[in-house]
Structure 1
Amino acid sequence: MHSIVALSAKALPEGRVFGLDTQTLVSIGIQLFNGIILALVLSFILYKPVKEFMQKRTDRIQGKLDTADSTMAKAKELIAEYDSKIRNIEQERMKILEAARIEAAEESKKIIEEAKVEAQEIKRRTRESISEDKERLKEETRLYIIELSSLIAEKYISRNIDDEIQDKLFEEAIAELEDAQWQN
């Protein structure tokens, strides 16, 4: 390596660190062009599919939340409706026998309680579904990152080291990735 630097320094005119000639400029232009192409290709291959997947997932979760909200709104409407019925029953209390008043009050409480229980159950199921989907998405992302890391490492190593060292480093990297703790 030192001899290459020394030969390069001898080939240049006195006082210059490197030759800024046409070949260097063309080489820089080609490298910039290759970098731009690589960035575009990677954005189509990696960024857009992941972004689309995440958007679909967000839309699906939002749909479930909207469904839960509309169900909760219906439950609140039922509660409001039954509250108004209770107020009407209280206004007519003097006209109705004591037994009828007790029966209506029990039924309204039962319906309100059922509506509350149903709303809580829908909320719980929605939260569980979101939690399960979140865990599944984390696992899929983790596996995707492991696969991508392996491919990148394989390409890098195959260009820089011999087969024996490459196999050893590859096995060590896979073992470390399998043992890694994935956190939020």
Structure 2
Amino acid sequence: MISIDVSLVVVVLNFLLLMFILQKVLYKPIKDMLQKRETQVLTDIDEANKSKEDAKILVEQKDKEYKNSISEARVLRDKIKKEAEYDAEKIIQEAYENRKSIVSETEQQLVNEKIKVKKALEKELAALVSNLSGQVLSEKITSDKDRELINRVINTRSK
């Protein structure tokens, strides 16, 4: 038969005591630490996924803002272009009207100058005729004298 010796009982008790101590000192703290680490890793993964979703939403939002900005810039550019075209047309119209006004004023000035010159020529011609008549009446004129008289009158008037 098998005999159970005291030493066997001591070895078994020693083993059980060692197992109890290992359970309390090593196994449980290591298990708790691993469980905390696993919880931390899962939390970090969840936070990373949440941050990824937030980043995706932010990118979509910024993309929408960018597209809106582009659209607003186009609208503003078109508005400015239309205003510039309107202003250019207005300036051209004003220049055309100004040109017409200047041409009209110049034509009026030319008419006035023509009238003045005509009156001056009429006065001068009247003086010449009067002078020539006086000379013709005072002397008998031959054709040579007539030419000489006309040349003399013209020369005196040109000076």
The normalised TM-score by structure 1 is: 0.36
Greater gyration radius: 2
Which structure: greater helix fraction?
2
Q: Which has the higher contact order (CA 8 A, sep 6+)?
A: 1
The normalised TM-score by structure 2 is: 0.40
